[in-house]
Every structure is written in structure tokens, then in C-alpha cells.
Amino acid sequence: MSPKYILVNEADAVVTITFNRPDALNALTPDLLSETAEALREISGRSDVSVVVLTGAGRAFSAGVDLKALNDLGLDLAEGNVGDNLNNTAREVQTLLETMPQATIAKVNGFCFTGGVELMLACDIIIAAEEAKFGDTHAKLGLRPTWGMTQRLPRRVGMMRARELSFTARTFSGVEAARMGLALEAVPFAELDTFVDQLCAGICQNSAGSIAAYKDLYQAAEDKGISEGLAYEKDTSYVVADVRERMGAFLANLGRARS
């Protein structure tokens, strides 16, 4: 059965997953998150996919949790927690984005707030439209983060900046997101698709096995101290199936260049 709340499009070795609730600014529900997790699980086992792009339909990447749907559930929010139905599926999406062998790119096309920021932060690379609007609005709503905001955001922007963004709940642009290191680049919205396509093409030229190894090693770099990380890099083995083919082609080209 085709998913109802996301679109999954494939071009060459790139799969794009698009949150598809544009009338609700792609607000997050358990069903949308479950469909996203299911798609990511399937893609993670494919050797013919090198890059996964996560984005949103219409004017938003995601405006965060669907507050109307959350209110309709009648949960006791006295602890500021959005509940296990959302928490468990959101964390599964994040874990898949971080651990799947493919490179993952968040293409932030518009509004990206709170839960949307938390999902975005689990991607390997973030590219934003200059016109995009970001914000961590947990404190404005009387909620507390449960999807890793306090752990991932400081690693991108520094602890003091993360505190400022969360304490003020202010909105900021894609340009500022890039300036503070939250996004790798901010480009005009009209150029966003082309920029991300070119980035994907550059990644797809390289060994999927090498990329998978890099993902694991960079994750270890974030999770471990430098001594433990260096030991992990030294001691961990990977299978890179195309190394002979790639080395052979390089040496053949080198021989032709010298002749």
C-alpha cells in the first residue's frame, strides 16, 4: 500500500522522502513518522541507493508536532512530554537516519520548527533555503524536548548558542542557520533543488562502502572521546565491495596519463 503522508521518489541512486501534509505545514503525527521509518528501513537495506534526501512539500520542511492532533489525544501534558506514540516513532526515524549506510541530507525548504529541527539534526548534512525559518519552540508551548534536541543541537552550534535558541524560542533564517553552523549552506530557495542535486551527484560518484564506513566512524567521533574514537577507527573492519574495481580504474587512468 502506498504511503498516505509521505512521498517517496527515486532518481538514479538518490531517494527523496517528502513529508506530504502541506496544508498542515507537514506537522508530525505518529502515522507520518511511522511511514517515514518504514521507508527508511527499506532503503537502508538497498545497495543501489547512495543518498537519502529528507524534505517537505509546500511551504514547510515541518512545523513540528501536530498540536491539534496531540490535543485531541487528551494526553496529560503536565510533564511537557508529547507521549510514547510520537516519541518512539520519532526516535526510530532519527536512529535510522544516523545509522543507515546511505548519506542522509535534510533539504530544508521552508518552516522548520521544534520536532522538525530534531529530525533534521539526525541527518548527516543540512542544506537550507535562505528564506527558511527555524525555531525551537518547546519553551513557548510549555513542552520539554524528548527527541534529542539538548544533545544534538549543542554539537552543531555550541552549548551557549543552543541555550539561547531554546530559552528564547526565537525564529531565525536559513542564512543565520548556516552562519551559526546549524546548516552546512544556505542558498536562495530558487537554487535549493539544483544545489542539493549537485551535492547528491558528488556523493554518488564515490564508493557506497566507503561512505557507510565514514558514517559509522563519524558517529563514533561524536559518541566517544578522541582516544576511544581513534582506537575504534583503527580496530573496526568494513567490507568495501568495489575497492578493487575503483583502484584498478584509477591506476589505469594514471598509466594513460603518464604515457
Q: Return d(Cα 116, Cα 134) in angstroms, integer.
A: 9
Homologous superfamily (CATH) of 6-204 is 2-enoyl-CoA Hydratase; Chain A, domain 1 (3.90.226.10)
Q: Dihedral through CA 227, CA 152, CA 4, CA 16, nearest 10? A: -60
Task: Give me the residue spans of the domains in the chain.
Answer: 6-204, 208-258
Q: What percent of the chain has pLDDT over 90?
A: 83
Q: What mean pLDDT comes out for the span 144-158?
A: 96
What is residue 170's three-state secondary structure? Answer: coil
Q: Does residue 221 register a pLDDT over 80?
A: yes
Least confident range of 32-36, 74-78, 125-129, 237-241? 74-78
For residue 258, the one-letter residue type is R
The string of DSSP codes covering 217-257 is HHHHHHHS-HHHHHHHHHH-----TTHHHHHHHHHHHHHHH
pLDDT in tens, 70-110: 777 777 777 878 888 899 999 999 999 999 999 999 999 99
Q: Sorting pLDDT into bands at 50, 70 and 90, what band is 120?
A: very high
Q: Is this prediction's pTM over 0.85?
A: yes
Q: Return d(Cα 236, Cα 213) in angstroms, integer.
A: 9
- Determine the Cα angle at 90 with ends 139 and 122, to 5°: 85
For residue 207, the one-letter residue type is S
Q: What pLDDT, on a 0 to 100 scale, did the predictor assign at position 75?
A: 73
Q: What pLDDT, on a 0 to 100 scale, did the predictor assign at position 48?
A: 94
